Amino acid sequence: MSKQEKIVAYELRLYIAGKTAKSVTALANLKKYCEEHLKGQYKIEVIDLLVQPQLAEGDQIFAIPTLVRKVPEPIRKIIGDLSNEEKVLVGLNIRPA
């Protein structure tokens, strides 16, 4: 959050399973929040578990969609379609709770 870590301070991963309505909503929501609050300092990686099921274990994914904040640590997970902006921002520690 300091100015030095500006470049890709947030590494986010969104796990989905196919292009379901929830996944699409989640991705759209995520992009919107990031553009609003973390412009230029984030990276989003979308992983489709239907294509790469072996990746689910590594990040302990059980719910879909799941957003994982890999960086900065600690790892945080937000599950659901990310419809509640407030919760997502708190969850990602962008805004203090």
Partner 1 sequence: MSTAKKNKSTLHYQTLPKTETGIIGLDEITGGGLPKGRPSLICGEAGCGKTLMSLEFLVRGAIQFNEPGVFMAFEEKASELTMNVASMGFDLDKLQAEKKVKLDYVHIERSEIEETGEYNLEGLFIRLSHAIDSIKAKRVVLDTLENLFSGLSNQTILRAELRRMFQWLKDKGVTAIITGEKGDGDSLTRQGLEEYVSDCVILLDHRVINQISTRRLRIIKYRGSVHGTNEYPFLIDEEGISVLPITSLGLEKEVSSERISSGIPAMDAMLGGKGFFRGSSVLVSGTAGTGKTSIAAYFANETCKRKEKCIYFAFEESPKQIIRNMHSIDVDLQKHIDKGLLQFHASRPTLHGLEMHLVAMYKIIKKFKPRAVILDPITNLITVGSVSEVKAMLIRLIDFLQEEQISVMFTALTLNNIVNEQTDEGVSSLVDAWILVRDIEFNGERNRGMYIMKSRGMKHSNQVREFIITDKGLDLVEVYLGPDGVLTGSAREAQKLHEQTGDVLRDFAVSSKDRELIRKRKVLEAKISNLQTEFESAEEELNKIYQQEELIKQVTRTTREEITNRRRGEQLIKKGGKNE
Binding of partner 1 at residue 76 (CB under 8 A)? Answer: yes
- Select from 36, 45, 62, 95 the one that contacts partner 1 (CB under 8 A): 62
- Select from 1, 8, 24, 63 the one that contacts partner 1 (CB under 8 A): 63
Binding of partner 1 at residue 10 (CB under 8 A)? Answer: no
Binding of partner 1 at residue 91 (CB under 8 A)? Answer: yes
Choose between 10 and 15: whose C-beta lies nearer to partner 1: 15
- Choose the binding region for partner 1 from 5-13, 36-44, 62-70 (rule: CB under 8 A): 62-70
Measured CA to CA, the distance from residue 77 to residue 69 in angstroms comes to 6
Q: Identify the CA nearest to 71 among candidates 43, 90, 48.
A: 43
Within 8 A by CB and 6+ apart from 6, the residues are 40, 41
Residue found under tokens 């957003």: 67
Are 92 and 34 a contacting pair, CB within 8 Å?
no
Peptide bond into 72 cis (omega under 30): yes
Provide the binding-site residues for partner 1, judged by CB under 8 A: 15, 17, 22, 25-26, 49-50, 53-54, 56-57, 60-66, 74-84, 87-88, 90-91
